[in-house]
Chains A and B, each alone.
Chain A
Amino acid sequence: MTQRSLQDRTAIVGVAQTRFAKKLEKSEEELAAEAILAALDDAGLKASDVDAVSSYTMENLEEVSLAKDLGFGDLAFFSQIGYGGGGGCATVGHLAMAIATGVANVGVAWRSRKRGSGGRPWAAGVAGLRLPGSEQVTATTWARPYGVSRPADEIALLASRYMHESGAGREAFAEVAMAARQHANKNPNAIMYERPMTMDDYFASRWISEPLCLFDNCLETDGAIAVVITSAERAADCRKKPVFVHSAAQGLPQQHHHMVNYWAEDPIGAPGRACGKRLFEQSEIKAKDIDVVQIYDAFTPLVLFSLEGYGFCERNEAAAFVKGGTLGPGGSLPLNTSGGGLSEGYIHGMNLVAEGIRQMRGESTSQVPDAAACLVTSGDCVPTSALILRAA
């Protein structure tokens, strides 16, 4: 370990979530409070111990609201990560950096979202195309007038090109969807717990944006998740077995342009490649040492891009890699073991962080035996982030 490394210097000591559902009555503020207090209780820490927070720029709840609601101490570090689903792992990464450098002591990362019952950002019309408080318009301006109006359409264009370049068929997307569903069927908290799916069900489902069908798309879910992080030293005194933040990285590749991303030289999976390079450069744990993965799955092709980008297989080889249940229960690389965004709930990828923590504690409903290292990623195709978690 070099002196400048983040390796295992901080640990996640608390994690909690609300119930997930298509519609919850509580507000985003109430859901966040519920999750954060439960996560602090899980850690055996008090709200007044908290001096750092991090969330997404898309989070509607401001730090000031939470700090007042919950009676946090004086906050010494607060950050918000941009680019939607690319930001989840970076909330933990930023807190790890702040705590490892002595800027702060106890951090809370959270995401509270009513996407199931709330509005769709893409339905905001022209208002959604202008950056908040700016004269600049977003990259979506180049897509929306032509009817590339939803995230699914933006990813469908990359998926179609990927199929052309790699020779992958829809069977590869189906493998991802099936793995997520099979794991959800073991998780009573998953929206799709009692809803098994067969390959025939997958291929019989309706199109959303060809080549993507309904089951290539994540769920829309209400819920909140919170994670508590502190120094490795302090973690030793907390209630639960610590989960070390072994490596954390972000990736915004050259000439990248948000999710409408067709202008970089090789746009497919570029954020994951850039992020993965830094993530593993700082890590003693390599891709071959990873026991279980939680990979951002707003759309199934993103998982294939990330498997390649983070080095589990070569470029354009993901379809062969996933074939035959690699990612499912008992496979050689179990994926999204709580059901992920596709089948547990879509809490903007924060539920993947939570499941990575449970795997490292031995608390998953699809526990991988003796799992010692877990990769968690955030959204590929947008400026992204990732974590390597290590079991104590």
Chain B
Amino acid sequence: MPEQMIEIPMDKENEAFFEWSAKEELRIQGCDSCDRLRFPPRPICPWCHSTDSSWRVMSGRGSIWSFAVTHPPLLEPFLSRAPYNVVVVEIEEDPLIRLIGNVVEDRKVGLEFVKPDELRIGAPVRAVFPVVEGEPRLLRWALEPG
């Protein structure tokens, strides 16, 4: 059941993130009282306890905090993609906001994973939102020069 593995269950807190991804924007929830960003999204600010928040546009720039290379045994659709990279990216605006993803070639359509030997911790990356048939539009990352 490939679509089941990729399908994202929505709740009141996480759906905005994926709706913005579908519109090709990386947005992170920020507190409207103390202005601090927080992730994963939640209904209350852990630092000032305000319940007012909004989704802030990010630059889309970040760097690789960690990466791994995934091998079988896996379920589809991941099995047919293996081995593939998975990364954690810290974003430029707040290094404590770390997002899980993949580093892919910068294509408008389709997923082509960057080879693991091209990855290193600290490498700069940029948010991209390739269209993948039959899957929700997700945030991915492309390597930046540097």
Chain A residues near B (Cβ < 8 Å): 123, 125-127, 129-130, 135-137, 139, 141-150, 153, 156-161, 164, 206-212, 255, 257, 260, 262-263, 265
A209 contacts B98, C-beta separation under 8 Å = no
B9 contacts A145, C-beta separation under 8 Å = no
- Can you list 24 A-B contacts with CB-CB less than 8 angstroms, sorted by A residue number? A126-B5, A129-B8, A130-B9, A135-B12, A146-B100, A147-B78, A147-B84, A149-B75, A153-B86, A156-B70, A157-B66, A157-B88, A157-B100, A159-B68, A161-B121, A164-B66, A209-B70, A210-B68, A210-B69, A210-B71, A255-B46, A257-B40, A260-B100, A262-B88
Instruction: Known contacts A145-B138, A147-B78, A161-B66; decide if A209 and B100 are in contact (CB<8 Å).
Output: no
Q: A147-B78, A157-B87, A263-B97 are in contact. List 9 more A-B contacts (CB 8 A).
A: A136-B13, A148-B70, A148-B86, A148-B100, A211-B68, A212-B68, A255-B46, A262-B100, A263-B96
B71 contacts A206, C-beta separation under 8 Å = yes
Instruction: Known contacts A149-B75, A157-B68, A161-B121; decide if A137 and B86 are in contact (CB<8 Å).
Output: no
Least Cβ distance of A263 to chain B in Å?
6
Q: Which residues of chain A are within 8 angstroms of B74 by Cβ–Cβ distance?
A: 147, 149-150
Q: Which residues of chain B are within 8 angstroms of A148 by Cβ–Cβ distance?
A: 70, 86, 100
Least Cβ distance of A168 to chain B in Å?
14
Instruction: Known contacts A126-B4, A139-B40, A263-B96; decide if A153 and B70 are in contact (CB<8 Å).
Output: yes
Q: Which residues of chain B are within 8 angstroms of A161 by Cβ–Cβ distance?
A: 65-66, 88, 121
Partner of B9, one of A123, A141, A158, A257: A141
Task: Determine the residue in chain B with the shortest Cβ distance to A153.
Answer: B70
Q: Which residues of chain B are within 8 angstroms of A147 by Cβ–Cβ distance?
A: 70, 74, 78, 81, 84, 86, 102
Q: Does B11 contact A (CB under 8 A)?
A: yes
Least Cβ distance of A291 to chain B in Å?
35
Task: Determine the residue in chain B with the shortest Cβ distance to A206.
Answer: B71
A209 contacts B65, C-beta separation under 8 Å = no
- The B87-119 residues at the A interface (CB cut-off 8 A) are 87-88, 96-102, 116
Instruction: Known contacts A139-B40, A142-B99, A147-B81; decide if A157 and B9 are in contact (CB<8 Å).
Output: no
Q: Does B7 contact A (CB under 8 A)?
A: yes
A145 contacts B116, C-beta separation under 8 Å = no
Least Cβ distance of B29 to chain A in Å?
13
Least Cβ distance of A282 to chain B in Å?
27
B66 contacts A160, C-beta separation under 8 Å = yes
A126 contacts B9, C-beta separation under 8 Å = yes
B11 contacts A137, C-beta separation under 8 Å = yes
Q: Does B60 contact A (CB under 8 A)?
A: no
Least Cβ distance of A375 to chain B in Å?
28
Q: Which residues of chain A are within 8 angstroms of B40 by Cβ–Cβ distance?
A: 139, 142, 257, 263
Instruction: Known contacts A126-B4, A161-B88, A210-B68; decide if A263 and B98 are in contact (CB<8 Å).
Output: yes
- The B1-36 residues at the A interface (CB cut-off 8 A) are 1, 4-14
Q: Which residues of chain A are within 8 angstroms of B86 by Cβ–Cβ distance?
A: 146-148, 153, 156-157
Partner of B7, one of A126, A257, A260: A126
B5 contacts A149, C-beta separation under 8 Å = yes
Task: Determine the residue in chain A with the shortest Cβ distance to B139.
Answer: A146
B101 contacts A146, C-beta separation under 8 Å = yes
Query: How distant is the Cα of A123 from the Cα of B4 in the complex, in angstroms?
Result: 10
Q: Which residues of chain A are within 8 angstroms of B69 by Cβ–Cβ distance?
A: 207, 209-210
Query: How distant is the Cα of A208 from the Cα of B13 in the complex, in angstroms?
Result: 33
Q: Which residues of chain A are within 8 angstroms of B14 by Cβ–Cβ distance?
A: 137, 141-142
Q: Which residues of chain B are within 8 angstroms of A212 by Cβ–Cβ distance?
A: 68
A263 contacts B39, C-beta separation under 8 Å = yes
Q: Which residues of chain B are within 8 angstroms of A263 by Cβ–Cβ distance?
A: 39-40, 96-98
Instruction: Known contacts A129-B9, A137-B10, A210-B116; decide if A160 and B68 are in contact (CB<8 Å).
Output: yes
With a 10 A CB-CB cut-off, give which of B46, B74, B88, B138 has the most chain A CB atoms: B88
- Pairs A-B, 7 closest by C-beta atoms: A125-B4, A156-B68, A161-B66, A210-B69, A207-B71, A262-B98, A147-B78
Least Cβ distance of A138 to chain B in Å?
9
Query: How distant is the Cα of A153 from the Cα of B71 in the complex, in angstroms?
Result: 9
